[in-house]
Amino acid sequence: MDFIGVFPILATPFDDGGNLDLESLERLVRFMAGLGVAGVTILGVLGESNRLLDAERQQIIACAIKAAAGVTRVIVGASHAGTQATIGLSRMAQDLGADAVMIAPSQEPVSSESRVFDYFQKVAEAISIPIVAQDHPASTQVQMSIPLLLRLVDEIPQIACIKEEAPPTPARIAALIQGMQSRQVPVLTGLGALYGFFDLESGAGGFNTGFAFPEVLMKIASEMRAGRRDEAYRLYARFLPLLVFEQQPGVAIRKELLRMRGLLKTNHVRHPGAGIAESSVMQLHALIERVLPGIDITQPLLI
């Protein structure tokens, strides 16, 4: 895997009773693969991974890999508060056929960058597939310094990508790319693509986020790679209101968008997560009509 391009983070579908909806997951994976994404990520922060049983995780991984059918890559989120548990989840993903795992550290009573390094090193020693190191302090409450991230790249060969989500992301992405001397790995941006244009300008290799219209991100990234920055910015500006609206806390808005696209049967968020408010549904539908007037969003967008 070269970790260049767009890797959508998928929502975990549930039925109205809160049970896994593997049929919708299969449809979601196949739709993304049909768009030509570089890969998909399952069981991320906004995949409600912390609300799943281990047996459910196993079902989700197996279903996604089967649906991907070798057409697209599958990255599996395997983070856990315990190192041994992270190793176990990573091995599960590897044994089920995942192409890579994504892991992030967890908060400890006494913060220690050396322990964070040990965490990644111990996981790497236990598996043979690549690791995406996620830097997302909003969810982990762990601040990973640029020197620590560079050390991970320099000393752990299985670290194949950095997912940078610690604002200010443009400056940190530039610092990471400039700081990688002995070995270069791609840096992907997330955070709902809120700062996407600026992150790409700073050298990001693509997106690893859950925006419900990944074909938009694919087009923005391809325009940037082709040197057409003005066109990339025009597209970014056009969809920025939708990016901002979707990036509100929680996953309910994203799930409603995916439901509107015909990919999920329901927008159910597993408890204690909150569902979408009726007023937000009305605003979202009005926003879609403003940004994509008269367009059938159940079909891939022609950008």
Query: Which residues does the annotation mark as catalytic?
Result: 163
Burial of 270 (0-12, 13-18, 19+ CB in 10 A): middle
Nearest residue to 11 via CA among 59, 43, 34, 33: 43
Strands, DSSP E only, in 114-257? 131-135, 159-164, 187-189, 206-207
253 near 6, Cβ under 8 Å?
Answer: no
d(CA 8, CA 29): 10
- List the Cα angle 284/198/291 in 5-degree steps: 25
Q: How many C-alpha atoms does 204 have within 13 Å on its Cβ side?
A: 31
Q: How many C-alpha atoms does 54 have within 13 Å on its Cβ side?
A: 10
Helix (H) or strand (E) holding 74: strand 73-77
- List the Cα angle 98/102/105 in 5-degree steps: 145
